[in-house]
Amino acid sequence: MTKSIVSFLFLLTLSACSSNQNAGVVYHHSFNFSGVKNYSFYERGSSFTESQNLLDAYRNAIEIAIERTMAKSHFNYAPLEQADIVVTYHVLNGNRQEYSKYNKAIHFCNHCLRASAWQTENRYKEPRLGSLILDIVDPKKQRSVWRSVYPLEIKDKDNSATSNEKIQQAITVMLAQYPSQLNNQK
């Protein structure tokens, strides 16, 4: 009886892990993703952070999840001036002006996705309400070269631990789609 309960719990856990959603991804094929060693964030108070009214608790959870995932893949955090890429994020809250301001801040063009220079994987779609958008910005050109979208599905009833787990899962799934296979390249 005990073995059956343990087996059932194991299968339940395994099926829960395998039900992760895919992250939609688009990226610019001419950017040298394999040459990236260092990353950074834009500083608080920059035009990037002013593009969205987001609670500091969410900003911190997202940035910590990014830092953990990047560290596991041996990417180093560096000052903005020394970074090969800048990682940015946006939670789609339904405010079109904030979303438009964010896209302008990182020079992301939805209409440009039709251009042949952009590669689309895993059925990239327009983000929906509550989705986390993650961008990788080329600091030299000041524009997004990679974008991933994942539905966070954070509920009002979720406590901070549950919200943080959902954010970490989203970031892990999203960055696993890095063109140089972020999790396997190093």
Residue 153 lies in a domain: yes
**Quick one: pLDDT at residue 26?**
87
Residue 10 lies in a domain: no
Residue 8 lies in a domain: no
Residue 130 lies in a domain: yes
pTM: 0.81
∠ CA 74-75-78, rounded to 5°: 140
Residue written as token pair 């895993």: 122
User: Highest mean pLDDT range out of 107-111, 114-118, 149-153?
Assistant: 149-153
Give the Cα separation of 76 and 25 in Å (integer). Answer: 23
Question: Comparing C-alpha atoms, which of 149, 148, 145, 168 is closest to residue 34?
Answer: 145
pLDDT at 184 over 50: no
**Quick one: pLDDT at residue 25?**
87
Give the Cα separation of 129 and 93 in Å (integer). Answer: 6
pLDDT at 122 over 70: no
DSSP 3-state helix, strand, coil percentages of the chain (rounded to 5)? Answer: 40, 20, 40
Per the prediction, the chain carries an average pLDDT of 81
Give the Cα separation of 106 and 170 in Å (integer). Answer: 21
Residue 6 lies in a domain: no
Residue 63 lies in a domain: yes
Residue 165 lies in a domain: yes
Point out the least confidently predicted range of 44-58, 92-106, 140-154.
44-58
pLDDT at 116 over 70: no
Residue 72 lies in a domain: yes
Give me the CATH number covering residue 168: 3.30.160
How far, CA to CA in Å, does 66 sit from each of 6, 70, 101?
33, 6, 22
**Quick one: pLDDT at residue 117?**
62
State the total domains in the chain: 1
Give the domain range for residue 104. 23-175
